[in-house]
Copies of this chain bind each other. A is one copy, B any other.
């Protein structure tokens, strides 16, 4: 009923743990699998270790969250071992999120990831708060395409998703990326945001700017997913951004997402969120008379009355 196929990956259900959320260790991967997720994305891994930014690197805004973790990660050489453990620990697909400052770095991480059995890759060209990485690379079409080409060559034929930002010309990038052989899109990463404390009279994050996530970014995420589907039809999309219930997961699917990322909702709802969404989707399919979730993908695009 809820199974989906995503560029060749078989998922027991469309829910994918979003990158950067509990994506650092095999023990967490197992817990996420047990909670019901259909796939697991690692935090974004770069070639070299990164300590990330100083605290405060995370804010609960009341509505939504702002983070500037700064792509903290142990580097792929160290993480390779964790990847081994992850592959041993869980049966759901493990998607390696890949970051870096140059095409060579992306290539290196994908290569090691492929050797260690990552089931798919997600190229993070969309982190909004790290200079010289993420969204800045996505803005430079030539660099972005070079990253995709090199990643493809190093991927051992496994699917590669391009994680897009709502900030740049994502439709232009998406079109070229498809020609360069990308398997699908993940949309969206966090929005670039800022928070100030009126008594401290200062920005809160040590990095000043951070990535905005949670329910408030959902209308923007839905817009991007809808546009991608409108433009590229059957290319698989992982819809991410503010999903915190079966209703919002379904909105993503109706907008055109074949799978749905769950991220910050875990802060408010705990691991239970996976089970709740699955349960809700099941009930909806039954009462509304659908047999498979796949029947709903992109259904909101039908215009006739």
Binding site for B on A (CB under 8 A): 61, 63-64, 66, 167, 191-196, 198-199, 201-203, 208-209, 212, 215-217, 219-220, 222-223, 226, 247, 250-251, 254-255, 284, 288, 296, 299-300, 302
Contacts and interface: CB of A to CB of B under 8 A. Distances in A.
Given A193-B220, A212-B219, A220-B212, A201 B63 contact: no
A222 B196 contact: yes
Contacts of A209: 223
B198 A247 contact: yes
Contacts of A194: 219, 222-223, 226, 255
B255 A196 contact: yes
Interface centre among A192, A216, A220, A226 (most CB of B within 10 A): A216
A208 B225 CA distance: 13
Nearest to A225: B194
B222 A195 contact: yes
Contacts of A284: 198
B212 A193 contact: no
Nearest to A255: B196
A208 to B, nearest CB: 8
Contacts of A212: 219-220
Nearest to A296: B201
B201 A300 contact: yes
Contact of A254 (B198, B296, B302): B198
A191 B219 CA distance: 9
A204 to B, nearest CB: 10
B66 A219 contact: yes
Contact of A300 (B202, B219, B299): B202
A223 B192 contact: yes
A222 B198 contact: no
A243 to B, nearest CB: 13
Nearest to A66: B219
Contacts of A196: 222, 226, 251, 254-255, 300
Interface centre among A198, A202, A209 (most CB of B within 10 A): A198
Q: Which 5 A-B pairs have the closest CB atoms?
A: A193-B219, A216-B216, A194-B223, A194-B222, A196-B251
A61 B250 CA distance: 16
Contact of A193 (B167, B203, B208, B222): B222
Contacts of A302: 201-202
Interface centre among A191, A192, A196, A250 (most CB of B within 10 A): A196
Nearest to A59: B219
A261 to B, nearest CB: 17
A220 to B, nearest CB: 5
28 contacts: A61-B219, A63-B215, A64-B216, A64-B219, A66-B219, A167-B167, A191-B219, A191-B220, A192-B220, A194-B222, A194-B223, A194-B255, A195-B251, A196-B226, A196-B254, A196-B300, A198-B250, A198-B254, A198-B284, A199-B288, A201-B296, A202-B302, A208-B226, A209-B223, A212-B219, A212-B220, A215-B216, A216-B216
